[in-house]
Amino acid sequence: MRKFPIRVLACLLSGAWFCICALSCDSAATPAGHADNQNFTGIRVSKTTSSVTTVVAEVRLFQYLIQSNGKIRSFKEQLVFAENAGRVTVCHASTGARFGSGSLIVQVDTAAIRQKVERVKLAQFNALREYESQLLGYETLLKDKSKEQAADIRKKLRISTGLAIAEQELLELKTEMEKTMIRAPFSGILADVKVQAGELLKPGQELFRIYDPQHLLLEVKVLESDIPLIRKGTPAELSPVSDAEQVFGATVAEINPYVDEHGLVTIKLAVGARRDQPGAGRMTERMLFPGMNCMAVIRVPAARSLLVPKDAVVMRSGRAVVFTVEQQKAHWHYVVTGRENGQEIEIKEGLKPGVQVITSNNLQLAHEAPVEVVKSADTLLKE
């Protein structure tokens, strides 16, 4: 048997002892009692102290945000068409012009209708005289009749003499005359004007569009899964795509109870005053126009939940992880997350209220790594 020198044996024994110590150090880096300890294999505790910021995980009212985009509409918006043929004699219509309810906008020539009215009035005059003449012969007969019977006799006389028909024709011509005067159906602003003075109109021809600028709405679509969270009056806010710095308040005014083929439901938001500049509510109609594209955020108040900032959650091996600070060391926690609103995220499992949650420099942190808190917030965002 070959004999080894004493120095060689000593070196071999010291190397084995070093390997055992190294394995013991690797095991010490794993959180004790964790169900997934194998995921921590090979993670060594860094000796470098990391500077971190923290906040306190709290149970608070979580505000879930539903974002969507759509177009501005008006609660009162109408296309106006010509009802009668004729030449336009008066035209006040112009794009952007404002009219009060009932104001005359377009007048169509009434000469032909006036001629019909005069002819029917002559027929009415003759029919009235004939009716009065025949009624004299029924005086004795009417005395012996009841009120109902006497009324029926007079009605028959009015029809037989042509008086009733003449009166009906005058009512119809009055309606035709009113149709030649195109008035504003409500107070609003004109758009898409397609008529001018002297133009010969046809029945059904489109003239202009009128809308109410003081009562605007934003029509958006949301997922059917979000509908149970939304109610009439739910607060929201919107901003034009062209200028995201302009923020307007809004509320849910209408929910269409129909899901389209894409699984979306139409929601109408009533536009309120401008929020980024208090007192600018009267300026809304000068900043928002029908057809304008806007982004909307519907703020849905949900149940009270344990909340942490979104930056506090990192992904490790496909699972959500949150680090907390305990005795100036980072502690690893697997968590189950819920909804998020862009700033905060719900924690369903894996974390307790009141712990200090790390919100920065947590992407490369290891379990029990030394940390230094440079900034700490007592609470999350105010309710």
pLDDT at 12 over 60: no
Residue 185 included in any domain = yes
Q: Do 251 and 234 share a domain, yes or no? A: yes
State the SS3 of 7-45. HHHHHHHHHHHHHHHHHHHHHHCCCCCCCCHHHHCCCCC
Q: Where does a domain end: 279, 302, 325?
A: 302
Q: Where does a domain end: 275, 302, 329?
A: 302
Q: How long a stretch of residues is the chain?
A: 383
pLDDT at 28 over 50: no
3-state helix, strand, coil in the chain (%, to 5): 25, 40, 35
Q: Do 233 and 202 share a domain, yes or no? A: no
Q: Do 195 and 115 share a domain, yes or no? A: yes
Residue 343 included in any domain = no
Q: Do 89 and 202 share a domain, yes or no? A: yes
- The single-letter code of the amino acid at 178 is E
Looking at residue 182, its pLDDT comes to 95
Distance (Å, whole) CA 363 – CA 54: 14
Tokens at 49, concatenated: 């102290």
Looking at residue 103, its pLDDT comes to 95
pLDDT at 38 over 60: no
Average pLDDT (246-269) is 93
CA distances from 194 to 95, 106, 108 (A): 9, 12, 15
Looking at residue 47, its pLDDT comes to 63
pLDDT at 126 over 60: yes
Site of tokens 């048997």: 1
Q: Do 99 and 164 share a domain, yes or no? A: yes
Q: Do 287 and 220 share a domain, yes or no? A: yes
Average pLDDT (133-157) is 82
Q: Do 184 and 283 share a domain, yes or no? A: no
Q: Do 217 and 172 share a domain, yes or no? A: no
Q: Do 185 and 285 share a domain, yes or no? A: no
Distance (Å, whole) CA 39 – CA 332: 11
Domain count, the chain: 2
Higher pLDDT pick, 377 / 330? 330
Residue 272 included in any domain = yes
Report residue 35: phi and psi, to 5°: -70, -20
Are 201 and 82 contacting, i.e. CB atoms less than 8 angstroms apart?
Answer: yes
Print the domain residue range for 141: 85-211
Q: What is the pLDDT of residues 175-217, one digit of tens each?
A: 999 999 999 999 999 999 999 999 999 999 999 999 999 899 9
Global pTM exceeds 0.85 = no
Q: Do 201 and 126 share a domain, yes or no? A: yes
Confidence of residue 122 (pLDDT cuts 50, 70, 90): very high
Share of the chain above pLDDT 90, in %: 54
Q: What is the pLDDT of residues 355-376, one digit of tens each?
A: 999 998 888 888 888 988 887 6
pLDDT at 20 over 50: no
CA distances from 13 to 8, 20, 67 (A): 9, 11, 67
Higher pLDDT pick, 152 / 266? 266
Looking at residue 285, its pLDDT comes to 59
Residue 196 included in any domain = yes
Residue 33 included in any domain = no
Looking at residue 276, its pLDDT comes to 59
CATH number for position 170 = 2.40.50.100
Residue 290 included in any domain = yes
Q: Where does a domain end: 168, 193, 211?
A: 211
Least confident of 39-48, 83-92, 367-376: 39-48
Residue 59 included in any domain = no
Looking at residue 106, its pLDDT comes to 96
Neighbouring CB atoms inside 10 A of 84's CB total 18
Looking at residue 39, its pLDDT comes to 47
Residue 216 bridge partners (DSSP): 74
Confidence of residue 142 (pLDDT cuts 50, 70, 90): confident
Distance (Å, whole) CA 308 – CA 335: 11
Instruction: Report the candidate in 111, 115, 122 with the shortest Cα–Cα distance to residue 166.
Output: 122
pLDDT at 29 over 80: no
Looking at residue 321, its pLDDT comes to 94
Q: Do 200 and 105 share a domain, yes or no? A: yes
CATH number for position 283 = 2.40.30.170
Q: Do 176 and 104 share a domain, yes or no? A: yes
- Which alpha helices (H) appear in 212-354, and where do they start and end? 284-287
Residue 115 included in any domain = yes
State the SS3 of 69-103. EEEEEECCEEEEECCCCEEEEEECCCCCCEECCCC
Q: What's the mean pLDDT when you consider all of the chain?
A: 83
Greatest alpha-carbon pair distance for the chain in Å reads 160
DSSP 370: B
Average pLDDT (11-23) is 44
Looking at residue 25, its pLDDT comes to 40
Average pLDDT (301-330) is 89
Confidence of residue 377 (pLDDT cuts 50, 70, 90): low
Looking at residue 284, its pLDDT comes to 59
